Amino acid sequence: MAAEENSDGAHVREDGAPAEDGLVANRALWDNLAEFHGTDPGDRSYDVESFLAGGQTLRGIERELAGDVAGKDLLHLQCHFGMDTLNWARLGARVTGVDFSPRAIARARELARRAGLPAEFVEADSQRLPDDLRGGFDLVVSTYGVLSWIADLDAWMGGAATALRPGGRLVLVDLHPVFQTVLTFDPLVADWPYGGGAPQHDAMTGTYAHGDAPLKPQASTQYPYSVGEIVTAAASAGLVVERLGEHTETETDGRHILPQGPDGLYRFPFSDTYLPILYSLSAVLPAAAAD
């Protein structure tokens, strides 16, 4: 099954019944990943010392969509242990990070202390955001390995919309559903559905951040969504989609399966063209929807 770059859990089965087993298993997985990420010299995704020295972890796509964040209230959903959240703070935003992993939140708070950056971190399922986050933000941001961990896509989008002030913006950047279907690039093997949202159960081995991580296999549940399902969920939550991008080149390959070009960028070659690796969505909450 395709590995992802970030975190959150599941609370609804395909048949609509509670699925706390999926939520508990995913939280246990991400607790362990939060304990390990950024602690080993072989980590390919999280360089904590570089971050503490002033290194920027945010990529061009989300920075362009978010625009100037100075002085704005920014909510980062599925923030893991807070490196990206704190980089938004470095750009001048007043930041709040949310993650369902208590270990991730504890590490995020410690990282904020070490970096000397103001931030609030809240332990919560992004499908069930606390009421005190309602209507408090100019921006809701979530990036890289997000929605495949979400059982209830409508609840996630509804929570993001509810957290925004009128005129506020959701910025979502994630692995493209086409790319998520792929297990290996060479040879090209696809082993995941394109959309539908049906739970995909697996034992995840290791971590995308470290090829030789000494981690035992752990149960996980993920959910495939198509681009159409994602855009429809945003619209159903009252958000107005202003921009939808499908990106065929990226600065980093979070899954570490694509070839890197001479220009340093990663692409997904297919015949004589390229398939999308990421999608990006920018959507605004109009005043009428907020009312």
**In this structure, what DSSP letter does residue 53 have?**
T
Q: What is the pLDDT of residue 21?
A: 62
Cβ pair 81, 57 in contact under 8 A: no
pLDDT for the residue 33: 82
The string of pLDDT tens digits covering residues 236-249 is: 999 999 999 999 99
Share of the chain above pLDDT 90, in %: 70
Amino acid 10: pLDDT: 33
Give which of 256, 259, 279, 278 is closest to 267, Cα–Cα: 259
Whether residue 48 has pLDDT greater than 50: yes
Cβ pair 150, 139 in contact under 8 A:
no
User: Looking at residue 237, what is its pLDDT?
Assistant: 98
| Tens digits of residue pLDDT in 246-274 | 999 999 887 889 999 999 999 999 999 99
Cα-flanking dihedrals φ and ψ of residue 88, to 5°? -65, -35
Structure tokens at 19: 């699925």
**What per-residue confidence (pLDDT) applies to 40?**
65
Q: Does residue 88 have a pLDDT over 80?
A: yes
pLDDT score recorded for residue 280: 98
**CA–CA separation, 108 and 97 (whole Å):** 9
**Per-residue tokens: 108:** 């995020």
pLDDT of residue 7: 40
Residue 3 or 204, more confident:
204
Instruction: Inform me whether the pLDDT recorded for 5 exceeds 60.
Output: no
Nearest partner of 150 among 134, 170, 128, 132, judged by Cα: 128
For 64, other C-beta atoms within 10 Å of its C-beta total 13
Q: What is the pLDDT of residue 219?
A: 84
The 10s digit of each residue's pLDDT in 159-175 is 999 999 999 999 999 99
Q: Which of 206, 207, 197, 201 is nearest to 219 (CA)?
A: 201
- Give residue 287's pLDDT: 87
Q: Supply the mean pLDDT for the chain.
A: 88
Q: Tell me, what's the pLDDT at 24?
A: 86
